Structure 1
Amino acid sequence: MGKVQYYTEEGLKKLKDELQDLKTRGRTDIAKQIAEARDKGDLSENAEYDAAKDAQGHLELKIAKLEAVVGNARVFDNSQMDTSKVGILSTVKIKNVKNGMTVSYTLVSEEEADLKAGKISLGSPFGKGLVGKKKGEVAEINAPAGILQFEILDITY
């Protein structure tokens, strides 16, 4: 059994939709490619057929991996969570101690991370540095540029 990952309802729905699309449209497209290549004659020297079969293998591998992720996925219920600390699905407003710049991030699972949308992974250096901190505390984050300090201004769920 794989590692349990927690998702937002929206994130889990997105994964399930992608899986369904791969199983239906993806498999149909690959089947058409294989059929077209097979119609072109001798399979022993048919590069299109070989490419289509390789694509089918890659698709099935992707489907299997996604099925494992969805099978181990759980929707996070933060009603039992200590909301005074930074945790999964918390939105954290932080201030860089050095330059005073403030930003907000929502901590999510690795698959849902999207920096442009303000969602960072719990497993990232920022995520690891922020988890468990309370409002007013300073988090030291070990980033590639060195150790950065951020003050926790607000935590919301």
Structure 2
Amino acid sequence: MAVCALAAEVLEGSMPEQVMKRLQEEIKLLEYELTTELPAEIKKAVALGDLSENAEYHMAKQRQEFVNARLGQLKRRMGELAMVNLVNIPADKVGFGSTVTVYDTSKDEELKYQLVTSEESDVAKGLISTTSPIGRALLGKKIGDTATVVTPNGKRELEVLKLVTIHDSPE
């Protein structure tokens, strides 16, 4: 599914766009390294002779493999982010981009989270990934619903108190 025109407008300046920009910058740097720097290093190492015991050559080849693998990961992630369609994100339930205030019954405290991409997650700042245990438990919940989160320290019950979806957020 492609991002429709309306979703593309909403995406401008949003979290997925910011993440995509960072990914594009990393891709650009890695592609330069792969096409310019590493071939020069490999050529220099080959000139040293015997490749069987040539540490410089083997390190450059390992780096080349790593860069190729990382580029593949980044390009797949770019494709996934390009398919984020904000029209399909519910306006009345916790979803990507939502800011949600919950009551944690086990800690007897209110907590505020924003659901973001895995690249943006920072638990200390309340930014949790939609794929994290808390993020997965909260997805699809409405105000008044309770989410059960299984953590290494046991189960936690989170009651949704407030919800601001990506549709409500000021751009």
1:85 matched residue in structure 2: 93
- 1:114 and 1:133 map into 2 onto residues whose CA distance is 22
Flag structure 1 segments of 5+ consecutive residues without an equivalent.
Answer: 1-5
- 1:113 and 1:75 map into 2 onto residues whose CA distance is 19
* 1:99 to 2:128 alignment: no
Q: Which amino acid aligns with 1:114?
A: D
Q: Which amino acid aligns with 1:109?
A: T
Secondary structure at the aligned position of 1:72 is classed as helix
- 1:109 and 1:20 map into 2 onto residues whose CA distance is 21
* 1:113 to 2:121 alignment: yes
Contact 2:89/2:96 (8 A) holds in 1: no
* Structure 1 length-normalised TM: 0.81
Q: Which amino acid aligns with 2:70?
A: K
* 1:143 to 2:151 alignment: yes
The offset of 1:100, in angstroms, is 2.5
- The within-5 A match list for 1:8-157 is 8-25=16-33, 27-74=35-82, 76-78=84-86, 81-156=89-164, 157=166
Query: Identical aligned pairs, as a percentage?
Result: 33
Superposed CA deviations along residues 132-155 of structure 1, whole A, max 9, x for unmatched, are 111122222122211111121211
Which structure is higher in strand share?
1
Secondary structure at the aligned position of 2:135 is classed as helix
Secondary structure at the aligned position of 1:113 is classed as coil
Where in structure 1 do 4 or more consecutive aligned residues deviate above 6 Å?
none
The offset of 1:71, in angstroms, is 2.5
1:3 matched residue in structure 2: none
Superposed CA deviations along residues 37-86 of structure 1, whole A, max 9, x for unmatched, are 22323334312112211211121121122222212322645455432211
- 1:71 and 1:78 map into 2 onto residues whose CA distance is 15
Flag structure 2 segments of 5+ consecutive residues without an equivalent.
Answer: 1-10, 167-171
- 2:123 and 2:17 map into 1 onto residues whose CA distance is 19
Superposed CA deviations along residues 10-52 of structure 1, whole A, max 9, x for unmatched, are 1121112211111114543323322332232333431211221
* Structure 2 length-normalised TM: 0.75
138 and 72 in structure 1: CA distance in 2 versus 1, 3 angstrom threshold: closer
